[in-house]
Structure 1
């Protein structure tokens, strides 16, 4: 399995590198990437249909979160450039109409295992249920239950499928909850989308480590599993992508 580490110098180059994961899978190889994206506010395709989209973009930029538009996933997500981790696993497929649900389940189970292995994260408090009015609401998430039974979302998952390859990916919030709440509240308000700040959780709030490097290594090891990893810089993905241009 090819494992790609690091991020590229710009948001655009880093996104192109992630696109290269699909090309690796299309060539018949599996690939994993777990990294800390640049500071940004990534809007989903549905966000562009909202009347307040331009206001939301301006608000994110004013708070120092460059707005971008992503191809997969639902609503807006924020990366602080330091503690919000992105993860992705790409694999070749034979039939794009099959096993979408299985890939989601496999990735969710692996992320749950990674969280449990991090000191303090209790498996009994992990659930696939989605908090009400969460950021980037969807049916594929991981949340933690706090003392009074309320849920806080820690990770959201998304998937992109082509005829020859699939990539299952997501965001995992490690720390930095206060700053992320600030921009998410403003952006969701501008989009006129219900959002409950208390629904946002992090690994640190759940009792795990606040060091993103520790979490990144644990997630990477879990996504690789029993495979033999070949570690490469993320920049190699740009080369793989260019071969298919």
Structure 2
């Protein structure tokens, strides 16, 4: 994993079993980055299922429809937040898996683009191991578009592709945080809230691109994907499980 700027030390894996709340979950990733860059924690992988959230990008807040978009989210039971990394609005809820990977690094910015490519392919590999026809690359009309998004192809309708994973990165002096959101179950509320919020913002997109892993392979759930992600990580790094409480000390 060193080719992506990932250290050779053991990667501590922490499964957070309950959401801390939408805002606290988002902030906690930034706090972990602070701990990593100052050497208080080593390479750490945090996995959790979030509360319903729409994470807007900084550019979204400057659009005239942002207030209406935020209100539309609240009306559908999603908390609108503004994230420090990433592009346009992305939605997630309890049916998604968030993977926060933090590492201390003396020159974190040098490998920034390489990490997008590396983790995109690694997450696609994890999904393929569960039977999903997954690949890396932006699909036309996707929400929060990105060159290294991970999409899946519908086995029954090969022309249909849906975005399954969005990634974002925050790089600071001394460390980096790479966050991945994998939509696994219950895609309908995500399509609905994105339709409302993107409409308020005046942004074009294709709602058909918003889907979930189990839209393509119905037997899969969040636990199965979490296990697959950890298994795939184990092919690239030594893993050391730890309790979530160890990060809150």
Give the TM interval when normalised to the shorter protein.
Answer: 0.7 to 0.9
Which digits, 9 at most, give the CA deviation of each residue in 1:105-159, with x for residues without a partner? 22112101110111x313xxx3322122211112220112343434211111111
SS at match of 2:150: strand
Distance 1:3 1:20, change over 3 A: farther
Per the TM alignment, residue 12 of structure 1 is displaced from its structure 2 partner at its CA by 3.1
Deviates more, 1:149-158 or 1:47-56: 149-158
Mark the runs of 5 or more structure 1 residues left unpaired by the alignment: 240-245
Structure with the bigger RCO (C-alpha within 8 Å, sep 6+) is 1
Displacement of 1:226 after TM fit?
A: 4.7
Which of the numbers 172, 196, 200 marks the counterpart of 2:182? Answer: 172
Indicate conservation of the 8 Å contact 2:137/2:146, yes or no.
no
Superposition pairs for residues 120-159 of structure 1, below 5 Å? 120-122=131-133, 126-146=134-154, 147-159=157-169
Is the 2:49–2:97 Cα contact (8 Å) retained in structure 1? Answer: yes
TM-score (norm 2): 0.86
Structure 1 residues 9-158: aligned runs within 5 Å: 9-26=20-37, 27=39, 29-80=42-93, 82-118=94-130, 120-122=131-133, 126-146=134-154, 147-158=157-168
- The structural deviation recorded for 1:212 is 0.8
Offset of residue 94 of structure 1:
2.1
Q: Mean alpha-carbon deviation: is it higher for 49-58 or for 84-93? A: 84-93
Q: Which runs of 5+ in 2 are unaligned?
A: 1-10
Q: Which residue of 1 aligns with 2:12?
A: 2
Q: Does the 8 Å CA contact 2:121/2:136 hold for their aligned counterparts?
A: no
User: Paired residue for 2:228?
Assistant: 218
Which residue is equivalent to 2:8?
none
Q: Report the alpha carbon displacement of residue 8 of structure 1 after superposing the two structures with TM.
A: 4.4
Equivalenced residues, count:
234
